[in-house]
Structure 1
Amino acid sequence: MERTYEQIQLDNHFRSYIESVTCDYLGSIKPQIEVTYPASNRAKVHIRFALDQVVLQDDWRIQLKPAFSPTFHWSPHLTPTAEHVIDQHSFRSPALIVHDGAKWLAVVPDLELLTKAGSSKKGSKEQPPRWYMDMDAPLNELSLGMCCTSVKEHVLYVRQPGTQFASGQIEFGFYLFISDDKRSIANPWRELLSFFWQGWGSPLFAKGQPNSGELEPYIARAYHWAFHNWEHIVWQQFELNGKEVGAPAFIVNVTQSPNYPGVPNEREVLSVWNQAWFSSLRSAHGLYRYGRLTGNEDYIERAQKMKELALCAPQHNGWFPSVLATEMEQVELEGKVYNRSKGWSSMYWGNSNRNPFHLNIREAPLHVLDMSWTALLMLRWFEELEQDERLLEYACSYADALLALQDKRGFFPGWIDPKSGRPLGILDESPETSLSVTFLMKMYEISGRTVYKDAAYKALHAVCEEIIPCGRWEDFETYWSCSRWGQEEWRGRKINRNNMYKQCNFSMYWTAEALLACYRESNEQQYLQLGQRCLDELLMTQASWQPPYIYVPALGGFGVMNADAEWNDARQSLFAELITAYGYELDIEEYKERGLAALRASFTMMYCPENEKVKQRWEKAWPFLNEKDYGFMMENYGHDGRTDPIHDPMGEFTIFDWGNGAAAEGYMRMLDRFGKL
């Protein structure tokens, strides 16, 4: 069916940036269009329809064609075919951005109108059309619109036929931003982030979102849950290499609750991890700090047992494994099969099964990223908590082995063979290298050996030249977590239709952190400026507002990548400190508020009285939960790309090292670094 549309007229100074903007009719109804100019480089477009009856129309859209040929494209989600759209579920800091090195153009949906549209239908059985965006780089078209959508793959969105527009007034709106300022080209996200935070984020933060009050009660609940109410399930203590060690289990689920009325079932292998996500040693930092703060010797002793377990990982030529696991078996009870661990007498060492090679922990190869993270945490423990020389010796042995892996361009490989130490050829030139930069800079800071610093700068320059300019943010999570779409056909290649790589924000974080470390050592402004650029790209995955269709507090929380759906992901407790640090370094209040909002968002998914509305949602999902489960916390929200005002899937598991324990560590570390105020 041929489109019927109206041209949107813009002032002269926009016409060198925008060739045309068209607005569809709804059925036979012509749009009422109002264009205003809140600033010299900004236009606000407000569209109204007065419908006297229901209109059946599969798709309604605004279509914009830039007046130049962009070389840079950015959107919050991938749309690899014309069937795909960027559903409103992914509108954390929503924008479409293009530039050609001289002209910069951005399109931003009007969040006030989207809030109004979402709130008017809250609790209604009627499913209104969903807002969307789209970017077609080859055709040089940017689109916004409304239609029904569904989730495809994990997680992309596609248009669905049968959209109904209800009778009455329908409103839609968006902003247009233009600039020829070199700063907008160098950092395409800064102006928009400021716009989002000034308009929505900061006012909501000032009103107490995502939560208000002291955070200490959440910390106490996390530790009381792990080491008292759920201790028999969470805390694992055993003898290893003649030493008493311990750590929280990698993952537990609701069937292991002391209140569960049925037979418990273990979701995954009973294990302890020291990996880039799930880090027992990171959690130990927080527990040690909290024990020291409160005078709780039991917590300090447990933290030291966690440190001992990390030191027990056997080193071979400097390399070491990241996972200690137990053998599993299946048992049949009353006709049903349940997973059970054979206990720590069956323990074995291995590595993360989130990799391209083996789903088996025992056979998984060594991951350089995981080793660099654990070794960095050892150095931080040595520097900040206890000067245990064993930590320094262990990290030094690894650092020397790491230097031998650096390639001629400066990159460190992704995975290596445990026996030969040879790189395995996947992600050998990736931004995972950035975490090794931060580790080596800390090695240099403590040891004074320039060989570490030289290798760090060489690696950083490789990332700055090969990764940052084109946005090739590919790391292990991009393809080998739950969102595996594109791992064969698109790894190392841009998705043609969007002129973008599949991206994960984890590697943006590591790179922004590495650049800040190198700036502090060198005082070279280029590192700080580039670090801010990486940080701002990261912050485009942070929620700058509270959507009415996200039914938990979301302000400040993070998503993960441009092909997944999480809100309030546990990584926000890791990111919070770095965002705040940039705020102090650059004296930008927005970053300080964003950092604190990220930290606060880290606790919004916890089951406890402090989160009353979320607590009710937990109890609707799992009616047997009670005060013995306070502190239980899912790692994210909206993971499958859909939410519901009544029947939200709240999740079934807690990962202490990537959830409540990680959030507690994030708070304790920031408390020690920045102080209570």
Structure 2
Amino acid sequence: MKRLPDSFVKQWVYDDIGQTAPEVSLHQLDKETIHCVLTFELEQTIQQDDWQMRLEPAFLPHFHWAPHLTPTSRHVMDQHCFRSPALIVHDDTKTLMLIPDLDLITKDADARWYMDLDAPNNQLVLGMSRTRVSEHVLFEKVNGASYPSGTIRFGFYLKMADHDQAGLNPWRSLLQFLWDRWGHAQFGQSIREEVRLDSYVRHAYDWAFRNWKDTVWQEFEWDGRNVGAPVFIADVSQSPNYPGVPNERESRSIWNQAWFSSLRSAQGIYRYGMEQNDPELVRKARLMKELALAAPQRGGFFPAVIATEMKRVMVDGQQVNRSGSWAFAYWGNSNRNPVDPWGAIAAAPYHVLDMSWTALLMLRWHDELEPDPRLMAYAARYADALVALQDGKGYFPAWLDQDTLAPLDILRESPETSLSVTFLLKLHQLRPDSKYMEAAEQALKVVIQEIVPTGRWEDFETYWSCCGYGRDELPGNKVARNNMFKQCNFSMFWTAEALYHMYKTNGDKRYMIVGQRVLDEMLMTQASWQPPYLYVDVVGGFGVMNCDGEWNDARQSLFAELILQYGVELDQKEYIERGLAALQASFVMMYCPENEKTKEQWERAYPFFNEKDYGFMMENYGHDGVVDEEGRGMGTFTIFDWGNGAAAEAYLRIKDRLGQTLKERYGYDITY
């Protein structure tokens, strides 16, 4: 085969390395897939800042997709963000996908692989260069790359389709290709070698309630009732083995928020306590439930965070953070918000998303664990207030002014709406009421019409977490050079979940069709392979957004059940494997003997770690876009509710709800 099909590719050019042209090999793998390898035989080391191959489609796409943003010609998608890497474009009839040949990426090459998508000039680019991180987290090319003498190989796969299905779901065939070629075998190897997941659960709870209990477990009286929960965040310096002065990273607090959900973690503790006949764990879980119920409702709405004041103090000549007593605690909301990003919890606006998530968890506790009429009453009061917020199009607002409870304009029409749909459907299931069902249907309809087709996956995390790129000018607008919104996979998850539950409620298969499309878009942020240049296991783990650097993010513990539910409903083995891989990845960042590679990285970063720290678990890996063999990328803290406690809850919930099905139908035994 001498050339790429001109019905799909108008022009394809590639650079030499120095004065050496490549030998080009093209092979047709099937009617839709071509494999290309460019081989350079270098007689000496070549200094060359950049090498590229550029492909121009033979049509004008209106849809573009890439795993990362490149807002200017300086920017590239460094191999650090190659989780399920591809460039995708399509018009009304043709779809073109460009996939790097991951087998050819080596561990220590001086020139790193990258991708770029230039939508205005209709160019798909693969290349090699040195890069640096700019902002949080974008990548830019820098000078200085070199290529050693000998053989240099670079390759890609080109997938082409001219049928409607590719346009309806442009990710399905690509995900299957990636999993068949790389993920399936690597997942199979991990399944054969995997230790029992319940050993990780023991580490998580031993860490929180035994070895680190003085730091983690908080128990106090609030408004005449006993309450308790693990602390929001624990810093590495609070280890019982730390040789210096401990420091608190953020104020001592407890959250019931979309990420950090104490009530979610409590359900894992309750399940494990009942399973192990451990009344003390059950008691702790119930205290966590009591704390959620203690959040004061105001017109049905309620705060998400209870916190203490923190001050800077001198200890042994060192200035550190110290939090005050729970006797002087106060209620507030997440400071990851547009009013005062990373500002005061006490002044933060109410977040509808957080309230809907907590209310949904209340209903799940009542339905799945033990009946508690107080949970139903609390959730119903909130539901009535929520329905009254819905606008004429169907959206629920993102934030409410703390004083007036009026909706704020920012993200007033967003896919955060989808989580409220799932909550209302659950309440309708337990307490049928047409107003809940009608509100859910109207909300999901507008999300399907306005969010899904354009990929407008904007939520609180997209702009008001650690990645502030575009915070002021991008909400509601695409990055022009990529023809893509800044996107977060959290809102993809909420939408795929709402579509699944709407299908299960009314049986309309159209919801599953759209739901699978959204799920697959989310799965493009899952690691479908094990890069040789990462130092922990990542297959099945998730990133976050198209402008960040995380691998193995804690959200995979939340996503795993939904992926498995789609897998069971559609009887699709790939989803079953991806869901189980996500569940496994939920524990990979834990410091413990079972994770040999991770344990080595933790001990290189923090040599004082020992068995008293087993269970410590950072929420992700490579957060800043850079890793190395000496422990860079390992992070500095554990969030029980977005890390070890969340992973434990996910495993225990999946084991209870899907364990037998996975064992009997698919041969995967997680029930032990």
| TM-score, reference length from structure 2 | 0.97
Q: Secondary structure at the residue paired with 1:567? A: coil
> Counterpart of 2:540?
556
Question: Using the alignment, how far apart are the partners of 2:338 and 2:2 within structure 1?
Answer: 51
2:530 aligns with one of 546, 559, 563? 546
**Residue 624 of structure 2 contacts residue 633 of structure 2 at CA under 8 Å; is this kept in 1?**
no
Secondary structure of 1:596's aligned partner: helix
Q: Report SS of the residue matched to 2:24.
A: strand
CA–CA distance in 2 between the matches of 1:361 and 1:648? 31
CA deviation profile, 1:115-134 (whole Å, cap 9, x unmatched): xx22xx3xxxxx51000000
> How far has the Cα of 1:211 moved from its partner?
6.0
Does 49-58 or 371-380 show the bigger shift?
A: 49-58
CA distance in structure 1 between the partners assigned to 2:287 and 2:97 by the alignment: 52
Deviation at 1:518, TM superposition (A): 0.5
Runs in 1 of length 4+ with deviation above 3 angstroms? none
Inter-partner Cα distance in structure 2 for 1:509 and 1:231: 33
Partner amino acid, structure 1, of 2:33: R
Q: Which amino acid aligns with 2:290?
A: E
SS in 2 for 1:295: coil
- Give the total of aligned pairs: 659
Are 1:283 and 2:283 an aligned pair?
no
Structure 1: runs of 5 or more not aligned: 1-7, 122-126
Alignment of 1:10 onto 2:3: yes
Q: Which string of whole-angstrom CA distances, capped at 9 and with x for unpartnered residues, describes residues 134-155 of structure 1?
A: 0000000000010111000100
State the partner residue of 2:190. 208
Task: State the shift of 1:645 in Å.
Answer: 2.1
Q: Deviations over 1:277-328 (max 9, x none)?
A: 0000000010000111111111001000000000000001000000000011
2:666 is matched with: none
Which amino acid is the alignment partner of residue 281 of structure 1? Answer: L
Cα gap change, 1:370 to 1:479, in 2 (>3 Å): same
Distance 2:193 2:230 in 1: 27
1:166-222 CA distance string (max 9 Å, x none)? 111000000101101111000000001000111111111111269612101000110
Amino acid at match of 2:16: Y
- SS of structure 2 residue aligned to 1:208: helix
Pairing of 1:639-654 with structure 2 (within 5 A): 639-654=623-638
Q: Structure 2 counterpart of 1:40, which letter?
A: K
Residue of 507, 514, 524 corresponding to 1:523: 507
Q: Which residue matches 1:332? A: 314
- Unpaired segments ≥5 residues, structure 2: 661-668
Question: Counterpart in 1 of 2:594?
Answer: 610
Q: Is 1:483 matched up with 2:467?
A: yes
Match of 1:238 among 216, 220, 242: 220
From 354, 373, 378, the counterpart of 2:362:
378
Shift of 1:113: 1.1
CA distance in structure 1 between the aligned counterparts of 2:49 and 2:649, rounded to whole angstroms = 48
> C-alpha separation between the residues in 1 aligned to 2:260 and 2:290?
17
State the partner residue of 1:183: 165
CA contact (8 A) 1:210 1:555 kept: no
Shift of residue 19, structure 1, vs aligned partner: 0.3
2:313 is paired with a residue whose SS is strand
Which residue of the other structure, out of 345, 356, 359, is the alignment partner of 2:327?
345
Deviations 1:237-290 (A, max 9, x none): 000111110000000011111111111111101000000000000000100001
Root mean square deviation of aligned Cα? 1.1
Q: Does residue 265 of structure 1 match 2:279?
A: no
Distance 1:140 1:649 in 2: 35
Distance 1:430 1:649 in 2: 32
* Equivalent of 1:76 in 62, 67, 87: 67
Does the 8 Å contact 1:210/1:554 carry over to 2?
no
Please state how far the C-alpha of 1:420 moved relative to its aligned partner. 2.0
Secondary structure at the residue paired with 1:404? helix
1:211, 1:600 within 8 Å by CA — same for their partners in 2?
no
CA–CA distance in 2 between the matches of 1:111 and 1:326?
48
CA distance in 2, matches of 1:321, 1:293: 32
Distance 1:625 1:579 in 2: 35
Distance of 1:255 and 1:41 partners within structure 2: 54
SS in 1 for 2:89: strand
Does structure 1 conserve the Cα–Cα contact (< 8 Å) formed by 2:411 and 2:475? no
Q: Does 1:90 align with 2:74?
A: no
Q: Determine the C-alpha separation between the residues in 1 that align with 2:220 and 2:92.
A: 59
- Are the equivalent residues in 2 in contact too, given 1:211–1:601 (CA < 8 A)? no
Q: Say which of 375, 380, 388 aligns to 1:391.
A: 375
Q: 1:672 aligns with which of 636, 656, 665?
A: 656
Q: Which residue of 2 aligns with 1:161?
A: 143
In the other structure, the counterpart of 2:641 is 657
Q: Give the equivalent residue in structure 1 for 2:585.
A: 601
Counterpart contact for 1:33–1:47, Cα < 8 Å: yes
TM-superposed CA distance for 1:647, in Å, is: 4.0
Does the alignment pair 1:136 with 2:127? no
SS of equivalent residue, structure 2 residue 377: helix
Report the residue type matching 1:494 in the other structure.
K
Q: Confirm or deny: 8 A CA contact 2:37 2:155 kept in the other structure.
A: yes
Closer, same or farther: CA 210–241 of 1 in aligned 2, 3 Å: farther
Whether 1:573 and 2:557 are equivalent positions in the alignment is: yes
Counterpart secondary structure, 1:632: coil
Q: Match for 1:255: what amino acid? A: S
Structure 1 residue 421, shift from structure 2 partner = 1.6
Equivalence for 1:194: 176
Matched, 1:108 2:99: yes
State the AA in 1 paired with 2:161.
Answer: S
Structure 2 Cα separation of the partners of residues 160 and 643 of structure 1:
18
Contact map agreement 1:76 1:540 (CA 8 A) in 2? yes
| In 2: Cα distance, 1:70 partner to 1:210 partner | 43
Deviation at 1:418, TM superposition (A): 2.6
> 1:211 touches 1:604 (CA, 8 Å); kept in 2?
no
Distance 1:55 1:330 in 2: 53
Distance 1:605 1:439 in 2: 31
Q: Is the 8 A contact 2:535 2:601 kept in 1?
A: no
Letter of the structure 2 residue corresponding to residue 86 of structure 1: M
Cα distance in 2 between the residues matched to 1:254 and 1:659: 14
2:50 maps to 1:63: no
Distance 1:395 1:549 in 2: 47
Task: Evaluate the alpha carbon distance shift between residue 70 and residue 211 of structure 1 in structure 2; reply closer, same or farther with a 3 A threshold.
Answer: farther
Q: Which amino acid aligns with 2:260?
A: F
Q: 1:47 aligns with which of 28, 38, 47?
A: 38
Matching of residues 12-51 of structure 1 within 5 Å: 14-51=5-42
C-alpha contact 2:353 2:398 (8 A) present in aligned 1: yes
For 2:234 and 2:46, how far apart are their aligned partners in 1?
A: 49
Q: What is the deviation of 1:579?
A: 0.2
- The structural deviation recorded for 1:40 is 0.8
Residues of 2 paired with 1:183 and 1:218: CA distance?
41
- The CA distance in 2 between the partners of 1:348 and 1:333, in whole Å, is 26
Residues 101, 157 of structure 2: 8 Å contact kept:
yes
